[in-house]
Structure 1
Amino acid sequence: MPGYAPDVELDVRHLRVLCAVADTGSVRKAARRLGMTQPSLTTQLHRIERTIGGKLFTRDRTGSRPTALGHSVLSRARPVIGEMDALIAAAREEAATRPGRRRLRIGSVGSRAVAAWLRRVHDRLPDTDTTIHIDISAIALLQLVAAEQLDIAFVHESEGFPLQVPPGTEQRVLMAREPQFVALAEDHPAAARPVVTLADLAHDTWMVDPTADHEYAALRRVFAEAGLDPRVVQVRDNATAAELVASGEAVRPFQPTSPPGPGTVLRPVDGDPFAHRLLLTWRPTAIGGPALDGLWTDLRRAYLDLAGVNPAYRAWLRRHNRSLRTLLAPAGPVAER
């Protein structure tokens, strides 16, 4: 903008302000999260908007929502914040690692298998300083492995949207096709059926997490192939999403290893149109040989133990006359590439 003088030089603190407003949907809530007063945050937000040269949020009695420009800025701000957080965490881990002890930095998407995996790793490697980094974005985790901020990561890939393997990393498939179930209210008309169809849920509102890689696009692809066009909303907060499902306001895809929340049930979808590929990604310069084999075996056993006690998953396996051991990649040394 000719003759325009920026009000303030933007830094990571200002980006955190924008993300806090977007995440909470409210300047008041964002101020409380950041430990600021509402007037000071409002003043800072106005200065940021003047620096950028446009409105980033619309504000009314219901809260604050990003404008088109705001969405564009946020899409660039979040990776910057993620990289800065990872840098700080890595530096703190480096400083905290005790001399003479090995360090292992594990990353994972959200999965109930993670806790069991980590317990096995701790038991097998008691003299290793092991840390865990959880992120809903598989893409972000792969980037952290490639950037040497993580050593190994457990990720999943939405069917039809393959992940790009970063240079300098290796990958092995734990499970080629994990079916995704659907969570719905226990009094939903389709809840009485052991298996539901997409047509059963065509008039429901579906929910996805907007921060999950390709989840929205994968859902839309499945519906388009089925000739359906249900309403899809994006909800970031898991607690809110669970309440919306339990109240019958919406349904959502769900990992088959996770138990249903209060007031909800899990049901497989006929034909298993939603699926994930489960992958382990590592950097060979950090892990290899017996160490890698051990981590692979720990993860495989953790998944088997977890999935085997889930009633919905066991019923799905019986209907398909399959066992988890045949669906998961075999145990044993990781194949060389």
Structure 2
Amino acid sequence: MSLAYNLTSSYALVVELDVRHLRVVCAIADTGSVRKAALQLGMTQPSLTTQLHRIERTIGGALFTREQTGSQPTALGHSVLSRARPILTEMAALVSSARQEAAGGERKRLRIGSVGSRAVPGWLRRVRERCADVDPAIHIDISAIALLRMVADDELDLAFVHESEGFPLRLPPGAEHRVLVAREPRFVALSDRHPAAARPVVHLADLAQDTWMVDPAADHEYAALRRIFREAGLDPRVVQVRDHATAAELVASGEAVRPCQPTSAAAPGTAVRPLHGDPLAVRLLLIWRPGALATGAPDALHADLRAAYIDLARVNPAYLSWLLQHNRSLLHLLGPPLELSAVPTRSGTQRSDERPERNGDRPHSAD
């Protein structure tokens, strides 16, 4: 089985597990229980439980914990799910494309590249729902530079990338782009037992004695982190860890902290918090080659991606609260004011018609 999904650590996952196993893991995560997943998959609960145990033995660790609220993914489970979902998306596209070809139909191929983002599955779903004659294929890479190189080499039609603040990307000659979010803050993931986790906003100084982790494959992440520490007069230890499962375990155990996307879901044993003053940020861009997309397609693709991104903000209280205070130009797209009337803030509950202003705030905008 060959898939257009190039996270190195995913290769072993594909070799050891087949697509049915990945569907089992995703079904349990989506439904929240083995019983409901068994009904969804047309299996008996004992049979699905046995299969889950077999999968966990193959991987070498527990993927779910049983709680009163149902089955919750462990840190390892979150790591496997982040790899399994793109694989299943690509497999669904492959099967759909093959069926269309066998039936004599012709679908337009759309080659999409993206850095890792929880918005991608919702983006692809919207593209398929809007354009039945389009067959999107996703290529995930943590490196924006690598994705832009593929756009320049005509291996991708467009790419969704992050640009670290202070480290501008070099776009391919003649490439066009749209801004999704002009300045997205980086939050921090830390153990839920860390003293700073008890506060809604974390100061860098609170984490000065902690070990920080970055992914060495993430463009400029290490340099950007070092820069903000230097500007703050701090010098914490920074290590580079590529394996996401190991990184998640280190955070949950309290051995390290790491920057993360504000749309990130907190893994078991961890908390996700904004950094005071938002010192670390990225710009989110959609980039494409001239002539690669039909007239009007960039606007439609940008709208689909923005809708998927906003869906994540709806269900993330910490990020929704941050947007309420800092980026109303994106926030107004969430819908009626009633949806924002009970968003928790540092000073309690803030109404949607209040407009806080702080001295020194940087302007935030969305295209």
2:237 corresponds to 1:231: yes
Give unmatched runs, 5+ long, in structure 2.
1-7, 17-93, 333-363
The answer on whether the counterparts of 1:174 and 1:328 sit within 8 Å (CA) in structure 2 is no
Q: How far 1:329 sits from its partner (Å)?
A: 3.1
Give unmatched runs, 5+ long, in structure 1.
1-19, 24-29, 35-91, 331-337
TM-superposition CA deviations, 1:1-55 (whole Å, max 9, x none):
xxxxxxxxxxxxxxxxxxx9xx8xxxxxx9xx89xxxxxxxxxxxxxxxxxxxxx
Amino acid at match of 1:185: S
Q: 1:148 aligns with which of 154, 165, 184?
A: 154
Aligned to 2:253: 247
Aligned to 1:329: 366
Equivalent runs, 1:1-337 vs 2, <5 Å: 98=101, 100-320=106-326, 322=328, 324-325=330-331, 329-330=366-367
CA distance in 1, matches of 2:320, 2:195: 23
Amino acid at match of 1:128: V
Q: How far 1:304 sits from its partner (Å)?
A: 1.0
Q: How far 1:323 sits from its partner (Å)?
A: 5.6
Q: TM-score, normalised by structure 2?
A: 0.62
CA distance in 2, matches of 1:310, 1:161: 28
Q: How far 1:321 sits from its partner (Å)?
A: 7.3
Amino acid at match of 2:120: V
CA distance in 1, matches of 2:187, 2:110: 33
CA distance in 1, matches of 2:237, 2:254: 14
Q: Name the SS for the 1:289 alignment partner.
A: coil
Corresponding pairs, count: 245
Q: Name the SS for the 1:256 alignment partner.
A: coil
CA distance in 2, matches of 1:205, 1:137: 23
Q: Name the SS for the 2:162 alignment partner.
A: strand
Q: How far 1:130 sits from its partner (Å)?
A: 1.3
**Over the residues paired in the alignment, what is the CA RMSD in angstroms?**
2.5
The answer on whether the counterparts of 2:251 and 2:257 sit within 8 Å (CA) in structure 1 is yes
Q: TM-score, normalised by structure 1?
A: 0.68
CA distance in 2, matches of 1:144, 1:106: 10
Q: How far 1:127 sits from its partner (Å)?
A: 1.7
Amino acid at match of 2:113: G
Residues 1:315 and 1:242: Cα distance change in structure 2 (over 3 Å): same
Could you say which structure has the larger radius of gyration?
1
The answer on whether the counterparts of 2:327 and 2:365 sit within 8 Å (CA) in structure 1 is no
Amino acid at match of 2:263: T
Q: Name the SS for the 2:265 alignment partner.
A: coil
Aligned to 2:62: none
Q: Name the SS for the 1:157 alignment partner.
A: strand
CA distance in 2, matches of 1:156, 1:301: 17
Residues 1:230 and 1:301: Cα distance change in structure 2 (over 3 Å): same
The answer on whether the counterparts of 1:109 and 1:155 sit within 8 Å (CA) in structure 2 is yes
Q: How far 1:205 sits from its partner (Å)?
A: 0.2
Q: How far 1:317 sits from its partner (Å)?
A: 2.5
CA distance in 2, matches of 1:283, 1:265: 39
The answer on whether the counterparts of 1:300 and 1:328 sit within 8 Å (CA) in structure 2 is no
Aligned to 1:75: none
TM-superposition CA deviations, 1:182-203 (whole Å, max 9, x none):
0000010111111111100000
CA distance in 1, matches of 2:119, 2:365: 14
Amino acid at match of 1:161: F
Between the aligned residues of both structures, percent identity stands at 70
CA distance in 2, matches of 1:185, 1:178: 23
